[in-house]
A and B are shown apart, each in its own frame.
Chain A
């Protein structure tokens, strides 16, 4: 087994509270599939047979009991539960399962919907014997109005600055605009090694990482890191260019000593992947080099390397905010099955009366739609009742809501088990949870 897949499905969905009030984020219906199905499907398609799923007790219970949540995957799921209230970050979760990690890992977040060719990321990881390789994509612009939010997407959001080398693969620099008060500062030695650096903004991080096993071990020793994206990745990117304590022999010797002493120094040594001896020999004898322009060794003798695959086209989307669920919910499912894109998706045991018009929408299990209802561009979750003569457009209706007769709802988010009064007219407002 070359890679172990780890699926992070314990996040609470803090940025989409209205939706996750009584459905945990991994199980939110997107195209009548729970969100978690998409990364699982992604892994299954590339041939993984086993996945470690890190999740909460609640989700585990629902997966095993709730008939509405059909995962429909053949892979063996190894469900690992972590405590919900412990406020664990992704790196904490990875540390939690360190015992299970036998090889390098592929970490996927549960909210990722992508048709990316996963092998591109893994190939970078293999070809360069990288410590980290990750997936990013060009951001998509949405023109549709987002339910429950006035106006369009706020501008002036903090951007991520990602610096890659001339080939666009090697990750050289990573920072958030918020941390760059003094401007972008880059060491000259980095520029000497990689004279051409592309600084890109407007990329979506897919939160999909290939990590060396040594990184997981490193995490186990260094408890201060709690998030992969927030702390571990920037740390690794930075560490690429700091001087490593050189030859592997020295490392081995000092390894034992240091274990007792300063754990801080220990980290660096551990983390720089120790190339196997044979590999080292091949590199020495080979005339291959990863760069042009000077005569130094491949990778300039650095042992820690981070790579990124940036998708030019295709879908790469993260469902992590309320507004992000809508545009994809409808078409997502069909992208991953070979079915032809229909007008709408209707879940099982729905009651749909005559003279209704349902366009480009998903309707969940056990939903009742009465006569003369018009639904366009919307998501109706499970067990919703829509009374006669309603008009629903561009909205998300959460589970078990009841929409009163003749209501007119545009670009709204209706919380679960809400009752919308008859004949009401609602535009761009959020009917939040019952609380």
Chain B
């Protein structure tokens, strides 16, 4: 850097040339910020998961290096030490490496946005850089895209901030990730992105008219693009992330730029490659397809036998039908490796096995009569005899005992985490997940807003040990916990989607519908209102209180949280109080259903009031606040007219807890009545008595005072 500074002083003549000469930089984000690979990623960061017996981050680095990147910043968050160790041992950190790798770790990154804001803060990039994730597998030569990008930036000064790299692949293609099912509207001539949208779950695609008013008369709408998650960014991108702290993902960024195009004047372009390969392993579905593409040599020259990581003993031979064998592989009598099989070193396979479309790691032992199809086995796996495995991922150190069947298409069974033992004599249904981690450990963490691979769970280790393994689930000698057995209820399905990404659905969905019905749908859709801020705020408050109760959070913290929500949803103080009152009073209904008797209702409500009284006190201070609170109480009991008798008790309790003052209650009682119903309410006997009592108490106190 110092030399660069020196050069610049020489004058402007050289500066332009020099810009070309500046080393190409890349930002590699070695964290996914989601938990698609959970629970595998609990022990191993996603970037280090093996794909074709090579850690995924190595593919990404190889891609960057081969495309001419000379300086890479690797940002790690979850399990950064492991990534660091891996990289330090790899060829990237040797002095001869053409690509200088800097590792930057922080536990504070929660999203891509945080990473790029840090890039900006540390002022790491000086010129256009390539932004990739640590799980991108690609052989695309981006130099042309880079050239186009630079040309655009030169022609019209810094207007284009990003060039996204796409691969052409028609819908329904195997390597197309349903989550990234995007539709792009672009200007045919300038390759400018005009509209970018994920289509998942949409039936109709809408393109606003303003995107067609850019002077060009030819536009293209493309649904045949696969997002490679490789983007060429100008340094402005990092700055824009800093300026817009709400940008979390690249998606946010792209949408933000496109929407604010007229204001900021920034544009995004795209580059489409026809023959390159590029995909991000964003879920297990993609893991399966990328892995099989790898073995089938689509990612040439990144093939298994190339040993591009340059590690001792990783080499293997390539023979026909894409069968790869590492060193010291022993294959029993009568065993067949049909096609597309990769076997790591020191693995031994018993007799009469049938192996096809599978990847087997190093140091595995496989018994006799084993059938493997589309199985992905990592290192040190032990498979006993008579086992059948279809479309499954078997992780490091797992043991599969005799006569186990891991089914089957559609979903995978996965045995993540070392030392899981399965069987013998067991058949696991589709989509089973077995882990040494107990699922419940997870639930405790679920509340965290930032779902990421990087949850620290250590504290519950002991608890886990105490829970017994269920022999019905994992077999008599099994060790491990079932995460989810089947896909029966919808909740599981959601989870499965989360783990696996969405399943490719070959049936175009809306075909069967007539136009008329679609139109009517449209209408109904437009009518249904969105949740407005007040409702959303109410839900949030409810959630906060619930959590507060479950986790015993101090009231001060609850107040803090509600305050921050207040700002987030732009709610006035008066509304906060009304909503808070309403939420608390409705809490018993919320928890136990609306069929409560009045007695049960007050029984559960009164202790709550006591617990939360500090919260109330924080918001109810002025005289007007008291009246507002009372009117909120009144409003609620007008709605819940069967429980009107409980109102006295509530008011009494609030009075005793010094939430409400007696003058306020009296004032409310005497003046607050505006309509018949509320007058009716005030005629309630209990309430009358309570007021009477209050008045007397006041008299007494005033007498005392005299």
Contacts and interface: CB of A to CB of B under 8 A. Distances in A.
Interface of A: 159, 161, 163, 177, 180-189, 191-193, 195-202, 238, 242-243, 292-294
Interface in B185-215: 185, 188, 199, 202-209, 212
B221 A186 contact: yes
B223 interface: yes
B272 to A, nearest CB: 10
Interface in B263-287: none
Contacts of A202: 217
Which secondary structure characterizes the binding site on chain B?
Answer: mixed
Nearest to B526: A182
B212 A191 contact: no
A202 B217 CA distance: 6
Contacts of B188: 198
B220 interface: yes
Interface residues of B, number: 35
B219 interface: yes
Contacts of B218: 198-201
B172 A294 contact: yes
Contact of A196 (B224, B506, B510, B514): B224
B222 A195 contact: yes
A353 B222 CA distance: 64
A186 B205 contact: yes
Contacts of A201: 212, 217-219
B659 to A, nearest CB: 51
Contacts of A189: 203, 508-511
A196 B212 contact: no
20 contacts: A159-B217, A177-B209, A183-B207, A187-B203, A188-B183, A188-B203, A188-B204, A188-B205, A189-B508, A189-B510, A195-B171, A195-B223, A195-B224, A196-B220, A196-B222, A197-B221, A198-B221, A199-B221, A201-B218, A243-B511
The 9 residue pairs across chains A and B that have the minimum distance between CB atoms: A293-B170, A195-B224, A202-B217, A191-B223, A195-B223, A189-B508, A199-B219, A183-B208, A184-B207
B706 interface: no
A244 to B, nearest CB: 10
A272 to B, nearest CB: 14
B517 to A, nearest CB: 11
B183 A191 contact: yes
B204 A187 contact: yes
B521 to A, nearest CB: 12
Contacts of B203: 187-189
B508 A193 contact: yes
Given A201-B212, A243-B514, A186 B172 contact: no
B170 A188 contact: no
B212 A184 contact: yes
A182 B223 contact: no
Contacts of B204: 185-188
B617 interface: no
A21 B547 CA distance: 83
A186 B209 CA distance: 13
B515 interface: yes
B514 A292 contact: no
Contacts of A182: 206
A188 B173 contact: no
Contacts of A184: 206-207, 209, 212
A242 B224 contact: no
B512 interface: yes
Interface string B511-523: 1111100100000
B172 A187 contact: no
B275 to A, nearest CB: 15
B198 to A, nearest CB: 12
B209 A183 contact: yes
B508 A192 contact: yes
Contacts of A177: 209
Contacts of A187: 203-205, 510, 518
Contacts of B206: 182-185
Given A185-B205, A191-B221, A192-B223, A199 B212 contact: yes
Contacts of A193: 508
Given A187-B203, A195-B224, A242 B514 contact: yes
A161 B212 contact: yes
Contacts of B207: 183-186
A21 B271 CA distance: 56
Nearest to B169: A293
Interface in B214-267: 217-224
A264 B43 CA distance: 64
Contacts of A242: 514-515
A195 B509 CA distance: 15
A192 B178 CA distance: 13
B583 to A, nearest CB: 38
Contacts of A192: 171-172, 223, 508
Nearest to A184: B207
A163 B223 CA distance: 14
A243 B188 CA distance: 31
Given A163-B221, A189-B203, 17 more contacts: A184-B206, A184-B207, A185-B206, A186-B204, A186-B205, A186-B207, A187-B510, A188-B199, A188-B202, A189-B509, A195-B224, A196-B223, A198-B188, A198-B218, A201-B212, A201-B219, A294-B170
Contacts of A199: 185, 212, 218-221
B672 to A, nearest CB: 47
A202 to B, nearest CB: 4
Contact of B209 (A180, A198, A238, A293): A180
B514 A294 contact: no
Contacts of A185: 204-207
A197 B225 CA distance: 12
A292 B202 CA distance: 23
Contacts of B219: 198-201
Contacts of B222: 195-197
Contact of B170 (A161, A183, A195): A195
Nearest to A177: B209
Nearest to A197: B221
Kindly name the residue among B509, B511, B515 whose own CB sees the greatest number of chain A CB atoms within 10 A.
B511
Contacts of A180: 209
A7 B205 CA distance: 39
Contact of B510 (A159, A163, A188): A188
A202 B508 CA distance: 32
A191 B185 CA distance: 12
Contacts of B512: 243
B77 to A, nearest CB: 36
A193 B223 CA distance: 9
